[in-house]
Amino acid sequence: MSKTPRRQASATVRRLGPLSTAICLLTGRPSGSNRAYTLGSLDRDKRRGLSLADTVPTAMPPRRGRSWLSFEGRRPIALVTAGPRSHAQSWELRQVLIEQGAEERLPALLESVSRTAAARGAKRVFLRLVRDDPAVEHARQSGFFPCFQETLYRGTPLRQTDGSRGSLKKKEARHDYDLFRLYNATTPADVRSTVGMTFDAWRASAERLPGRSTEFVMESADQVIGWVRYVRRSSTGALSAVFHPSAKEGLVSAIEFALRRLSGASTVYCLVPEFQVALGRALADYHFDAVCEFEVLVGTAVIPAEQKVRTKATAAST
């Protein structure tokens, strides 16, 4: 692949603002579905990407995020949307719309995302793509590197709503540092070095689930050995869990408890990182099926040297 198309693509990247929004309203947004996945968009049957009406507010103050467009002439052929996860230190791609065959536009778009994220205090930017998506290779060209793989499991809840929560306790703020220790004990060092080695970095990288989620922890000898979270939105439920390898029985009981609490849902999803083998096996025992594999990539948010100089000059003159 020649370098010329990439220089042209870079020159046509614009942040979504009043002018580019007006162009989209006249010519339409890029065709295709949203190729970026977040915890709130795992339902493949319902996810159709953000509409232009959803994207326009991200052209305003960046609390919700920002959007960027890549044009071919005056026609938009690629659009990405990104914003903070749990804290400004960690951003994520929420929308990646690229017309078929135009994946070479992605590196320039991701570079714009990284620059803006860094200017807003971010250290890292996450991108989740289907494992065999051609966009994975193009993301790597822009400095996004594979961090780990995930498998999406889909199943149904338990219809019996009765049953004790056993030794599970409602998660409280005082458990946060204990959960950070659990994260350190259950996550490989190479993953932690990218996702976050410190408490603040780990907390900033945590993904939020849309809707009101419920969290429980399991303790043993005054230490947290497990955590489970579930949330229901309409007819869909989502489940997340992290348990110490020595707490397999606790993991099974926590999954059963959550599936009973999600009894009103028709479908339940659970995203399992490759290093949480026991969780995947436990879900299979409850007749969950693996339906999709993802690649999680992480890019370092860096402010270019020339931008740093401009920022310092501006600060000195004020």
pLDDT in tens, 172-219: 999 999 999 999 999 999 999 999 999 999 999 999 888 889 999 999
pLDDT band at 85 (very low <50, low <70, confident <90, very high): very high
Residue 269: strand, helix, or coil: strand
- Report the pLDDT value the prediction gives residue 209, as an integer from 0 to 100: 84
- pTM assigned to the model: 0.85
Q: Hey, what are 253's tokens?
A: 């009981």
The model's pLDDT over 219-278, given as tens digits with 9 standing for 90+, comes to 998 899 999 999 998 889 999 999 999 999 999 999 999 999 999 899 999 999 999 999
pLDDT above 70 for 166: yes
Give 213's DSSP letter.
-
| AA letter at 229 | R
Query: For the chain, how far is it from start to end, CA to CA, in angstroms?
Result: 45
> Would you list the DSSP string of 183-195?
HHHHS-HHHHHHH
Would you mind telling me the total number of residues written for the chain in this entry?
A: 318
Q: Look up residue 30 and give its DSSP letter.
A: P
pLDDT digits (tens, 9 = 90+) for 101-117: 888 999 999 999 999 99
φ, ψ at 174 (rounded to 5°): -65, -15
Of 1-5, 73-77, 175-179, the one with minimum mean pLDDT is: 1-5
What is the enclosing helix (H) or strand (E) of 153? strand 145-155
What crossing angle do the helices spanning 106-119 and 305-317 adopt, rounded to 10°?
Answer: 30
- DSSP line for 197-253: SSHHHHHHHPPPPSS--EEEEEEETTEEEEEEEEEEETTEEEEEEEE-TT-HHHHHH
More confident residue, 315 or 268: 268
Q: Which two tokens stand for residue 95?
A: 């929308």
- Residue written as token pair 């606790």: 250
Strands 267-273, 236-243: pairing kind: parallel
Give residue 129's pLDDT.
97
Domains of the chain, each with CATH number or no CATH: 4-151+298-317 (3.40.630.30), 157-286 (3.40.630.30)
Angle between helices 277-285 and 248-261 (to 10 degrees): 50
User: What is the spatial order of strands in the sheet that 13-15 belongs to?
Assistant: 13-15, 66-72, 75-84, 90-98, 124-130, 289-300, 145-155, 267-273, 236-243, 223-233, 214-220, 168-170
